[in-house]
Amino acid sequence: MTTPNEGGGTASDAVAKARKAGAKYAADVAQAAAKAVEAGLPQAEADKMVAAALEDDAQDLIAFQAKLFEAVAAAAKASEPAPSQTPSAQVTVDARDKFVNGIAQAVLATIGIGQRDPGNEFNGATLSRIAEHCLVRAGVRPGMSKSAIAAQIFNSHTRTDFPLVLENIASKSLLKGYDEAPEIFDRFTRRGSLPDYKEAARIDMSVFANLDRVEEGAEYTYATLGERGARVQLAKYGRMIQITEEMVINDDQNAFASIPRKMGSASRRTIGNLVFAILTGNPTFNGAALFHSTRQNLLTGAGSALADAGLTAAWTAFTTRTDAQTAGGSVAEAVLNIEPKYLLVPRALDTQARRLMSAESVNNSAGALSGTPNTWRNRFEVMSDARLDRAGGGATRWFFLGDPDIYDTIEVSYLDGNANPTLTRVELYKTDSIDFKVKQIAGVAPLDFAAMQRNEGA
């Protein structure tokens, strides 16, 4: 028979409630202790504290968490090397680097960038959990809610490794996107280096086409560089990336890491746009259009179409070019014997170009194989880019380009030769976010027109 108690229930109800409350308290104590162990508290000490807390009739979880926090701090202090140990600073730096790199590796592997390390303790960790790890390392008490963690992380007065962790992940994702961007411009351009943003000159080396004969006992004469040459200058391109409180609470790791990855691709694509703008825009170079009939590097009309006859006309103009033509008649004529290496076409002509480079015989006027050997077979490397299709008149336009390691074509310059975009954390503290600046410094300019041939195809 059950007996009513003062609250109107039975004695068995009271016992059940007490047991339920005790079970929840025990679970909360165990969870708090587990987090403390992750933060550096020895397991044996944590077990002792849990046993003492379960024997405490007060069942004060907040008081227990405070004791854990003090124990974690004491354990961290006890693990620090003595002042007499000189490598203490290096140990601290190495531990921090290991922590930051471990988180970055786990997050990048989660979104498909890099390999998963089975032994990485941060595998599967959410952004909130990562943020909490950073807070604990900074001396903040563990066991907070997601919103409390986010509030602490985005508080300008709370200094943690979380921004450094995000910067590490974003930088690696940025470079991954830059490296995997589908661009071909670096195959037919030359990489240059500039020390600053000032305009610099590049001397046109084709003016040294010939050497003068030196008679017995005669003096050597100096070459005249003249006014020919190109001007190159760097410019700055960039955008901002924002990691918000909502992204951390929602654990949006994919969006967080994919944004800088796309920024990396956009950075490389921006340079490609600058290169192809020169080919399609035909800018002024040394007083005339870069591609012009007087320079014999521009063919128009039906005879310039991508076919056997068009290839013959373009190749003849390209290979018989002389120094007098490239210099506008300002120096003595010299045959340059420049050979095209690349056949650059729009996507619409890609299949036709590859057939021309692979067919054993050429087609007759009816479009059938004539039996005449195809002298163009495997002659040039075919490249195609959709930017040529989108430019005005680009569906039929194609180019011959020389080897940039031998001839001057187009230079892509970078500050101190560093082609990679950079990512920098910007401390604004105006919003609940951590902000990063993506910057690409590059300059693109034509160096000479002798090793580039534009054929309109119509």
Q: Is residue 350 part of a domain?
A: yes
Q: Is residue 41 part of a domain?
A: yes
The tokens of 252 are what?
A: 């949006």
Residue-by-residue DSSP string for 7-32: TSSBHHHHHHHHHHHHHHHHHHHHHH
Tally the domains of the chain: 2
Let me know if residue 137 belongs to a domain. no
Tens of pLDDT, residue by residue over 305-315, are: 999 999 999 99
CA distance 255 to 51: 43
Tens-place pLDDT, residues 214-230: 999 999 987 665 555 68
| Through-space distance between the first and last CA atoms of the chain, rounded to whole angstroms | 105
Q: How far apart are alpha carbons 347 and 351 in whole angstroms? A: 8
What is the per-residue pLDDT for 10? 57
pLDDT at 200: 92
What pTM value is reported for the model? 0.74
Residue 181: inside a domain = no
Give the pLDDT of residue 45: 87
The domain of 306 spans: 255-455
Longest dimension (CA), the chain: 133
Query: Phi/psi at 213 (nearest 5 deg)?
Result: -70, 140
Asked if 258 contacts 111 with a C-beta cutoff of 8 angstroms, the reply is yes
**Would you state the pLDDT for residue 329?**
47
Residue 219 lies in a domain: no
241 in a domain, yes or no? no
78, 97, 115: which is the final residue of a domain?
78
Q: Which residues of the chain have pLDDT under 70?
A: 1-21, 76-93, 156-157, 204-209, 223-229, 323-333, 363-370, 428-429
Q: Does 126 reside within a domain?
A: no
263 burial class (0-12, 13-18, 19+ CB within 10 angstroms)? Answer: buried
Instruction: Specify if 90 maps to a domain.
Output: no
pLDDT of residue 404: 95
DSSP 91-135: HHHHHHHHHHHHHHHHHHHHTTSS---TT-TTTT--HHHHHHHHH
Residue 34: how many CB atoms within 10 A of its CB? Answer: 15
444 close to 238: Cβ distance less than 8 angstroms: no
Q: Mark which of 45, 78, 111 sits at the end of a domain.
A: 78
Cα–Cα dist 142/386, whole Å: 54
